[in-house]
Chain A
Amino acid sequence: MNAPLLRAQNLVKEFHTGGRWSGSAGVVHALSDVSFDIEPGETLAVVGESGCGKSTLARCVTALNLQTSGTLLIDGQNAQDLLRREPLRFRRMIQIVFQDPYASLNPRRTIQQSIGDALRLHRMCKSKEQRDAVTALLERVGLSSDYLGRYPHELSGGQRQRVAIARALAVQPRLMVCDEPVSALDVSIQAQIINLLKEIQKALGVAYLFISHNLALVRHISDRIAVMYLGQIVEIGPADAMRRNLLHPYSRALFAATPEIGRDKTAATPMLRGDVPSPINPPSGCRFHTRCPIARPRCAQEAPLLRELDGRQVRCHFAEEMLPAA
């Protein structure tokens, strides 16, 4: 069998925070034992609330951060080795699109310069042809060549996000990590960007690691979905299975909490208590037990493992109870 495009094995990322004197020194457990595969041309969505480690995951996968432990395999090769031996080859394979289109383009560089940087670094074209290549990329993302000489502040949020996508596409990556690419945009623009991403995928066969906090949205657009809570994957599986039903109490709560048009307003939605605990001292046992509506004493003591159930993997002792009655 072929190796997957990307395989993450037991990724752990910890941050050390606080000074010795501030009294708040601690270890942030941003990612704990995260594993998944991404096949060529597919979309793996990662969802979860803010602070659950999504951006950290994006940065580890793109080697902007070094994981504390665990390995990343790209096409079966160790990512760190590849990065040491042929850094540009690694960079060409994986690109990233960020959430904030206002911060992800250099305010003092024109659109042509920003995209041109990518082409030049990877020698994607002769320097004489750069202008044409940038124009072609802009057209690919639905912008005209009028934008070549403009600065980011002259563009709307949606247009900037298109430029950021064009810059990532410039090196013809095989995997694009999209870290909440539409969260900062208006609803009417979100659909435009998502459609653009899907269309690019269809045409170029690029795979996405699509990060979002909107479970309803990713159920619509991805092949597989991973739900994260406090640095762990709590449920991961094919989107089909996850559309059928959600088996982790957190995935359910997350989905239920997303306001949805047309849902019966009188139906009591199970609501989570309190806030997400701090990742500095994550709860013992199951990290979700402090907010879980079905938690039992066992949950506070014994940490559940990811296990196979109904066509996906779930990290809950009592996930069977969530299966529809046979």
Chain B
Amino acid sequence: MSALLQVEGLSVQFATDRGPVRAVEDLSFSVAAGETVAMVGESGSGKSTAALSLLRLIEPAGGQVSAGRILFDDVDLLGLSSRQLRGVRGSRIGMIFQDPMMALNPIFTIGWQISESLREHLGLSRRAARDRTIELLQRVGIPAPEQRIDQYPHNLSGGMRQRVMIAMALACRPSLLIADEPTTALDVTVQAQVLALINTLKDEFGMAVLLITHDLGVVWETAQRVVVMYAGRKVEEGSVSDVFERPEHPYTRGLLKTARLTDDRAGPLVEIPGTVPNAFEMPHGCRFAPRCAQAFARCEDGVPPDIKVAVGHDVACLLAERAP
């Protein structure tokens, strides 16, 4: 069975004053229909760049896809004309962002923005689109949608705006939802609501979700599979239970240890020493090598290959070679 979304060898770079920044390098992963895949990594690890590239939204930001294929239902999105792409965006793939204010137009009512998308993609009449919009707002848990529909984005709280974004992304029942840190700007109690909402809607619509986050707790509680990113490269991929219980990459291990707070106050927290490498001075070999306690000479020679340590569990670390 082929995956709904199959990304192969995706590389994206930005041209800047100081030379090219290779924000994403040789990234491959897949999302099966109906599954939630989390992409996790620290800020600057290339998560947003990868997500935006999937819909070719990186070009306006100055980015350039330099290699790779993005197969969605076996069609390479990189080969589509911009008209064809518009048909995919919004109707077959929905997207939500960290800051809903960026995606919502402040001068139009939320109702207008949602129904416009319905009319464009589904060809609904004005009346029908409005009814559908109210239904959608109701569905994403916005109280009194008949009144809210005529309000402007700034009238809503952060949590409400994110719900509107979800309603908008789901308006045409896409088969894939890309959510780029949808809850990072929200408080935890509201985050829980929004994540639960995404989860129920996913089951209801049978949609797949690519959830981008930096919070391993969120990954654990919402995703089936996880892609761990570090400095623009995928370092580990696998099912959440495999990766969380048997992490193979030293970076994943470190992250999990820092994130797992025990209630005992005895020792200091586990930390990963050092900082993420500068985008202009990326190490030649494994990008984590300068911070890795287990690094050895060969780590600096070349980029470690993806090594399969279990079914569906890949690790880009030379240490994994030694494992049986």
Using CB atoms and an 8 Å cutoff, list the residues of chain A in contact with chain B: 49-50, 156, 158-159, 186-192, 194-195, 198-199, 213-214, 216-217, 219-221, 239, 243, 253-254, 256-263, 265, 269, 271-272, 274-276
Given A49-B187, A261-B256, answer yes or no on A271-B221 (Cβ-Cβ < 8 Å). no
Decide: B221 and A257 in contact? CB cutoff 8 A.
Answer: no
Question: Which residues on the A side are within 8 Å of B190 (C-beta)?
Answer: 275
Chain B residue contacts of A188, Cβ below 8 A: 42, 254-255, 258, 271-272
Given contacts A186-B214, A220-B269, A254-B189, contact A261 B260 (CB under 8 A): yes
B83 to chain A, nearest CB (A): 40
Q: Name A155's closest neighbour in chain B (CB-CB).
A: B275
Residues of A within 8 A of B259 (CB): 187, 261
B201 shortest CB reach to chain A, Å:
16
In the assembled complex, which residues on chain B have CB atoms less than 8 Å from the CB atom of A243? Answer: 263
Q: Which of B157, B189, B220, B263 contacts A219 (CB 8 A)?
A: B263
Among the 9-residue stretches B99-107, B191-199, B312-320, the one with 4 or more Cβ atoms under 8 Å from chain A is: B191-199
Question: B262 near A: Cβ within 8 Å?
Answer: yes
Residues of A within 8 A of B62 (CB): none
Q: A158-B275, A192-B271, A195-B268 are in contact. List 8 more A-B contacts (CB 8 A).
A: A187-B216, A220-B265, A257-B188, A257-B189, A259-B218, A259-B221, A261-B259, A275-B190
A190 to B258, CA, bound (A): 9
B262 CB, min distance to chain A CBs, angstroms: 7
User: Contact: A276 with B187, CB < 8 Å?
Assistant: yes
| B244 interface contact, C-beta 8 A | yes
* CA–CA, A213 and B215, complex, Å: 14
A-B contact pairs, 19 of them (CB 8 A): A186-B214, A187-B216, A187-B255, A187-B258, A188-B42, A188-B254, A188-B271, A188-B272, A191-B270, A217-B261, A219-B261, A220-B261, A220-B262, A257-B188, A257-B189, A257-B192, A259-B195, A261-B244, A261-B256
A261 interface neighbour in B216, B254, B265, B273, Cβ under 8 Å? B216
B217 touches A259 (CB 8 A): yes
B63 within 8 A of A: no
Q: Interface SS of chain A: helix, strand, loop or mixed?
A: helix
- CB of A184, distance to nearest CB on chain B (Å): 10
Closest CB of chain B to A267's CB: distance in Å?
Answer: 10
Q: Which residue of A lies closest to B191 (CB)?
A: A257
A272 surroundings in chain B (CB, below 8 A): 189, 192-193
The residues in B between 16 and 31 inclusive whose CB is less than 8 angstroms from any CB of A are: none
Residue contact B43 to A261, C-beta cutoff 8 Å: no
CA distance A275 to B163 in the complex (A): 12
List the B side residues contacting A271 at CB < 8 Å: 189, 192-193, 196
User: Nearest chain B CB to A163's CB is how many angstroms away?
Assistant: 14
Pairwise interchain contact B196-A191, C-beta atoms closer than 8 A: no
User: Which of A186, A194, A275 is within 8 Å of B157, CB to CB?
Assistant: A275
Q: Is the CB of A263 within 8 A of B193?
A: no
CA gap between A191 and B42 in the complex, in Å: 14
Contacts of A191 in B (CB 8 A): 258, 268-272
Given A198-B268, A220-B263, A272-B189, decide whether A186 and B217 contact each other with a Cβ distance below 8 A.
no
Inter-subunit contact A263/B262 (CB<8 Å)? no
- Which residue in B189, B265, B276 is a CB contact (below 8 Å) of A221? B265
Docked Cα-Cα span, A257 to B187, in Å, equals 9
Say yes or no: B268 contacts A213, CB within 8 Å.
Answer: no
Please list the 7 inter-chain residue pairs (A to B) with the smallest Cβ-Cβ separation, ordered nearest first: A259-B217, A191-B271, A49-B187, A188-B272, A191-B269, A257-B192, A186-B42
Contacts of B276 in A (CB 8 A): 156, 186
Q: Which residues of A contact B265 (CB under 8 A)?
A: 220-221, 239
B160 contacts A by Cβ under 8 Å? yes
Q: Are A195 and B192 in contact (CB under 8 A)?
A: no
Q: Which residue of A lies closest to B270 (CB)?
A: A191
Contacts of B193 in A (CB 8 A): 271-272
Residues of A within 8 A of B196 (CB): 271
Q: Which residues of B lie under 8 Å from residue A214 when comparing CB positions? A: 188
User: Scoring B residues 230 to 241 as 1 if CB is less than 8 Å from chain A, else 0, what string do you get?
Assistant: 000000000000
Contacts of B159 in A (CB 8 A): 275
Task: Check B263–A259 contact: CB distance below 8 A.
Answer: no
Which A residues are CB-close (under 8 A) to B273?
Answer: 192
Please state if A194 and B269 are interface contacts (CB–CB under 8 Å).
Answer: yes
Q: Which of B143, B157, B262, B271 has the most CB of A within 10 A?
A: B271
| Minimum C-beta distance from B7 to chain A (A) | 24
Interface string of B218-258 (1 = CB under 8 A from A): 10110000000000000000000000100000000011101
